[in-house]
Amino acid sequence: MKKYIDLHAHTYYSDGGLSPAAVVEKAKKIGLSAVGIADHDSVSGLSEATSAGKKIGIEVVPATEITCYPSEKREFHILGYFIDWKNKTFQSFLKELQTQREQQAEKVVASLNELGYLINLGDLKSLTRGVIGKPHIAWMVINDLENKKKLLEDFGGIPTASDFIRKYLITGMPAHHRREALDPKDSIDLIHKHGGLAILAHPSWDLVSKDSESGKLTFDDHYLAELLGNGLDGIEVYSHRDSEEDTKLCVAHYEKIAKEKGLAVSGGSDYHGFSSTGKELGFVGFYLKIPYQVLDDLKLRSKK
């Protein structure tokens, strides 16, 4: 019997909707053998997740997802797997990153208010447990009935969280604000310093653009070359685009690169659970599935 995994899931300690235990329980329910808990700039959920995993018999892979900026107009997320998450120095550093996120969110909220959207920083903070993320912001705007008229004007209907994020919150968009954060090399060095493997998250989004008219995908591989020069260990090959066709193109592209460059391969749904960002845990309802062999290979890499 084949075993499947999902190495990229979020809890309510960053921008997910479920507790760490609930994510682990969901993974068990859908038949996964392992789940990676990778909250943004946080390891606060790992103790609960690992305890839940031991109780119900599912492997929990400890991770975190660190944001970095290679330039003013580009943002990357680096996943740190098998990180020494109990290290107090590492935890303190992540707390600093969380403070920077809150300062960034304050500026984003102000910009959205100026653009005509109603959102309150206090309400936003009450939705989170330490790390404010783009899905929190998008969810609050979309689910406030007072924003309905503005949303209809801007989108022609009520958008998904992903649609709102892409139009307003990503790098270069009207409400985006760059925060003080690590550059890629410092992010990778931080992960290596604390025993982890550094893996680029969702390259199918961050390194791929799509022409709105032709629908053609363009792969920005020169950015990947820069990351490899900074010591990146691997890439999240098994990640998704919106459609199955585009996803297959991206998976094939990054499988080829990983094989040619001898890179570690990872994969995950980027599950959030309360908004429409990412896919369902384990890619339920989607064609993509990740074999357990991917995790075995990552474990071998981590021991080198």
Mean pLDDT for back-to-back runs of 10 residues, the chain (304 residues): 94 90 98 97 96 98 93 88 96 90 90 96 81 87 95 94 90 84 91 97 94 90 93 97 94 98 97 80 96 97 82
Q: For residues 166 and 108, what is the distance between their CA atoms, to the nearest angstrom?
A: 14
pLDDT at 224: 93
**DSSP code per residue over 6-60:** EEEE--TTTT-SS-HHHHHHHHHHTT-SEEEEEEET--TTHHHHHHHHHHHT-EE
Partners of residue 198 on adjacent β-strands: 80
pLDDT at 133: 82
Residue 2 makes CB contacts below 8 A (sequence gap 6+) with: 291, 292
Q: 226: which 2 tokens?
A: 């820069």
pLDDT at 212: 82
pLDDT at 87: 97
Q: CA–CA distance from 220 to each of 51, 185, 283 (Å)?
A: 40, 19, 25
- Per-position b or e across 208-222, b if 16+ CB within 10 A of its CB: beeeeeeeebebeee
**Residue 236, φ and ψ in degrees, nearest 5:** -80, 80
Domains, the chain, ordered by start: 4-97+183-302 (3.20.20.140)
pLDDT at 276: 60
Which among 238, 227, 237 has a CA at the least distance from the CA of 198? Answer: 227
pLDDT at 128: 78
Residue type, 168: Y
Residue 142 makes CB contacts below 8 A (sequence gap 6+) with: 151, 158, 159, 160, 161, 164
Give me the residue label for tokens 């100026």: 114
> What pTM does this model have?
0.88
